Amino acid sequence: MAEKEIEKAKVEIEKVKAQIKSAKAELSKQEAEYEKNKTATYNKIEKAKKEIAKGKEEISKGEKELSDSKKEFEEKIAEAEEKLIDAKEKISEIETPTWYILDRNSNAGYVSFIQDTDSIANIGRVFPVVFFVVALLISLTSMTRMVEEQRMQIGTFKALGYSKIQIMFKYVIYAGIACILGGILGMSVGFVLLPKVIWMMYGMMYQLPDIIVSFNLEFGGMGLILISICIVGATIYTVLKELRHEPAMLMRPKAPKIGNRVILEKIPFIWKRLNFNQKVTARNIFRYKKRFCMTVIGILGCTALILTGFGIKDSVQQIVPNHFEKIFVYDMQVTIKDTIEQEQKDELAKYLEQKEEIEKITKVYMTAGTAKINGLSEDVQIIIPENMESLEGIINIYDTTTKEKTKINENEIGLSDKAAELLKVKIGDSIVIKNSEDKEIEVKISNIIENYVQHYVFMSKETYKNLYKEEYDYNVILTKNIELTKESEENLTKEIMKKAEVASVTDMSEFKENIKDTLELLNYVVLVLIISAGLLAFVVLYNLSNVNISERIRELATIKVLGFYNKEVYNYVTKETIILTIIGILFGLGFGYFLSTYILGTCEINMLRFPRVIHTISYVYSILITVGFTIIVNIVTYFALKKIDMIESLKSIE
């Protein structure tokens, strides 16, 4: 029993020993693991300590940067607050703004376009009248000749029993159809083609939409009715005059007009020195009085229209030389910024004065204003020089009456002539001048000044101080340059524009070119008028030459039978045409001068003054154009005379 217990105890002991051995092995393993973990832990701790140290260093650096940034931020905030305070002070110093409500009539482009169209409209009120009168005379002559040529048919109809109304109705229908067809064709050209041509010319200067053309029934109908009444009325009168005769009389050719003594025969000194052909020509001219009047009036009207066209062209072209080469002769206008101090202005003036390209400078105060009197008002440019004497050679002031340079009295103003005309004032009258700040003063006019573009008021510096109670401060410098190339002018303009004190630089050569381009439009219209008048002269001469030949065909056939050569017959007929053309041209030149003056007066827009100029060469051109068409007609007449059949022309109607 005991042995079993002992054996059992031994087993237990062995078991315990095995557990102890296992525990020791586990302990050794744990100790090895501990040593391993201990090393890794120490490494991590060392690494963490390094990271902590690095973090502390970065924190220290960040704190330093934060401190510096905070300091810089506070400085900038302080500076910004200071600027804000200054800005608030400046804002508080800003005056209450003035509001201006402007309609489209205040737009320069719109006003310029309206004034240009008004000029064309004014031309359209005069030229059509002259064209209408000349065309009417031609039509009347043609219808009268047609009726007279058909005397034999009228006599035949009357002999066959046709009533006067039936016979007359034939010619009335013919004249009426001619008027209607011609009127429709004329209105198609006048209401469609010409407006498109003129609109195309305007398109060179303005940005315009496509024109919408339409027939103006009021004007077209008025013209058609008027010319129909005249031509149909003349036809009725001529037919009734012929119908008073008996059929037998109507079937005979019309008797030639009886020749009468002429005025030249009462002047023996001249008449005795004329040869036979010249005497015949003189008598024939006065023998056919209707043809004499028609030819002279027709050529007079055509020459007058051509001369008027050239006169308008000459006057338009003279604006730029008169204004920019005689009066406003400065080359550049340098506008100074409003915010510039007086010392900076003086430095800019000194800089410009020392430039080699600049010959002379003048300081002026220039501002927009309005001149008013009795409900009339005109926009003006007020010019106040620092010294009136310094204006000489920059802006020359001429008196409109004497055409000499003049001086403006103290406490009075000089007003440009077109503004004076529009305001209906003269020297000694007082007008109200309102400046850009809406300050109004009443002042007396000392001089009416010659001017061609825009309106101007001139006054001295002392006058400005006395009237407006303000200190004078110039804002523009005008320069007179030496002779420069276009490239040099552009370089000088760019150089001056770089100056901080300069707001803008206006090169007057470019401004002159813009004015020229604007006025070129009127030249195109004038060209159309000249061509139309020339063609009208051709039609007048051609029609009257045909009338002359048809009326005198038996006479011309007779002198051919008597042995006159074709050239002699031609000279016999064309001498009369040439003399009548010369008479018409002489009267036309005189009438053209007055017509040109009238047209220029009606065509002027508010901002322009047209000089009343017609160059000698324009008279020459007007004469040559009329003579040229006369020569063409005479050439056609020569071939018409050659075709005259002597036998047929001299056959007896009996």
Structure tokens given for 418? 């077109």
pLDDT value at 521 more than 80: no
Written in H, E and C, the secondary structure of 573-587 is: HHHHHHHHHHHHHHH
Q: Which of 100-114, 477-491, 514-528 has the lowest mean pLDDT?
A: 100-114
Among 61-75, 125-139, 155-169, 590-604, the range scoring the smallest mean pLDDT is 125-139
Exposure class string for 609-623: b at 16+ Cβ within 10 A, else e: bbbebbeeebbebbb
Question: What are the structure tokens assigned to 33, written together?
Answer: 């693991």
Q: Match 């159309």 to its residue by tokens.
A: 528
Paired tokens of 187: 């209105």
Query: Average pLDDT, stretch 448-465?
Result: 89
211 contact partners, CB below 8 Å, separation of at least 6: 195, 196, 199
Q: Does residue 43 have a pLDDT over 80? A: no
Asked whether the beta carbons of 498 and 506 are under 8 A apart, the reply is no
Residue 343 pLDDT exceeds 70? yes
Predicted local distance difference test score (pLDDT) of residue 458:
92
Kindly report, residue by residue over 68-107, the tens digit of the pLDDT.
Answer: 777 777 778 878 777 777 777 777 666 666 665 666 666 6
Instruction: Please give the pLDDT value at position 533.
Output: 76
User: Token digits for 57?
Assistant: 């260093």
Q: Is 170 exposed, middle or buried (0-12, 13-18, 19+ CB in 10 A)?
A: middle
What is the distance between the alpha carbons of residues 596 and 590, in angstroms, rounded to a whole number? 10
Spatial separation of the C-alpha atoms in residues 91 and 87, rounded to whole Å: 6
pLDDT digits (tens, 9 = 90+) for 164-202: 888 888 888 888 888 888 888 877 777 777 777 667 656
What residues contact 451, with CB distance under 8 A and at least 6 apart? 323, 327, 416, 417, 418, 609
Q: Rounded to an integer, what distance in angstroms lies between the CA atom of residue 515 and that of residue 496?
A: 24
**DSSP string covering 557-622, please?**
HHHHHTT--HHHHHHHHHHHHHHHHHHHHHHHHHHHHHHHHHHHHHH--TTB-------HHHHHHH
CB contact at 8 A, 542 and 295: no
SS3 content of the chain, % helix, strand, coil (to 5): 70, 10, 20
- Distance between CA atoms of 478 and 385, rounded to whole angstroms? 10
654 falls in which pLDDT band (50, 70, 90)? Answer: very low
Give the dihedral sign, CA 582/583/588/591.
Answer: positive
554-564 pLDDT per residue, tens: 777 777 777 77
Q: Which residue has the tokens 């001056």?
A: 496
Whole-angstrom CA distances from 352 to 357, 362, 477, 494, 554 are: 9, 10, 9, 13, 85
Which of 53-57, 359-363, 574-578 comes out lowest in average pLDDT?
53-57
3-state secondary structure of 441: strand
Position 598 confidence tier, pLDDT thresholds 50, 70, 90: confident
Tokens of 198: 């003129």
pLDDT band at residue 253, thresholds of 50, 70 and 90? low
Helices 566-603, 616-642: crossing angle, 10 deg rounding: 150
**Which residue, among 295, 296, 301, 265, has the nearest Cα to 280 in the 3D structure?**
265
Determine how many CB atoms are found less than 10 A away from the CB of residue 533: 29
- Burial class (CB within 10 angstroms; exposed 0-12, middle 13-18, buried 19+) of 559: middle
DSSP code per residue over 264-308: GGG-HHHHTTS-HHHHHHHHHHHHSHHHHHHHHHHHHHHHHHHHH
Structure tokens at 217: 């029934």
Contact 647, 552 (CB under 8 A): no
Strand partners, 333: 478, 506
Give 391 or 89, the one with higher predicted confidence.
391
SS3 369: strand
Residue 497, helix vs strand vs coil: helix
Three-state SS for 420? helix
Which of 57-61, 364-368, 480-484 is the least confident region? 57-61
Is pLDDT above 80 for 236?
yes
Instruction: Check residue 97 and give its pLDDT.
Output: 63
Q: Give the angle 611-309-401 at the CA atoms, nearest 5°.
A: 15
Alpha helical stretches, state H, 150-246: 151-159, 164-188, 194-203, 217-243
The HSE-up count of residue 497 (CA atoms within 13 Å, CB side) is: 11
Determine the pLDDT at residue 595.
Answer: 83
Q: Which has the closest alpha carbon to 137: 295, 246, 341, 340?
A: 295
Between residues 97 and 423, which one has the greater pLDDT?
423
The full DSSP string for 521-541 is: HHHHHHHHHHHHHHHHHHHHH
Residues 259-313 pLDDT 10s: 667 677 777 777 777 777 777 777 777 777 777 787 888 788 888 888 888 888 8
Given this model, what pLDDT does residue 490 score?
83
